[in-house]
Amino acid sequence: MYQRDYLLRMIEMLARALSKVLGQKDLKSTEDALLEIDDAGKMYIGLGSAMVSSFSDEDMITLFHSGGTFDTNKCLAISELLYAEGQVLELRKDDDRYRLRYQRSLHFLLEALTEDNDIAIGPYDERIDILFQRLHDVVLPPTIMKKLFRYYEQRGAYAKAEDVLFELIETNQVEMKNDGIGFYKRLLCKTDDELRGGNLPRNEVEEGMQELMKRS
pLDDT, mean of each 10-residue run, the chain (216 residues)? 59 71 65 85 85 94 88 88 91 91 96 84 84 92 94 94 93 84 97 97 96 83
pLDDT of residue 1: 38
Supply the range of the domain harboring residue 63. Answer: 1-135
* Phi-psi label, residue 17: left if phi above 0, alpha if psi -120 to 50, beta otherwise: alpha
Same domain, 103 and 10: yes
Q: Are 77 and 45 in contact (CB under 8 A)?
A: yes
Question: φ, ψ for residue 95 (rounded to 5)?
Answer: -60, -50
Q: How far is CA 150 from CA 81, 130, 165, in A?
A: 24, 18, 10
Same domain, 2 and 76: yes
Same domain, 151 and 48: no
Same domain, 198 and 107: no
pLDDT of residue 135: 95
**Does the reported pTM lie above 0.85?**
yes
> How many domains are there within the chain?
2
pLDDT of residue 165: 95
pLDDT of residue 2: 37
Same domain, 110 and 28: yes
Q: Is 2 helix (H, G, I), strand (E, B) or coil?
A: helix
Same domain, 175 and 191: yes
pLDDT of residue 6: 62
Among the candidates 109, 135, 161, a domain finishes at: 135
Same domain, 128 and 143: no
Same domain, 131 and 157: no
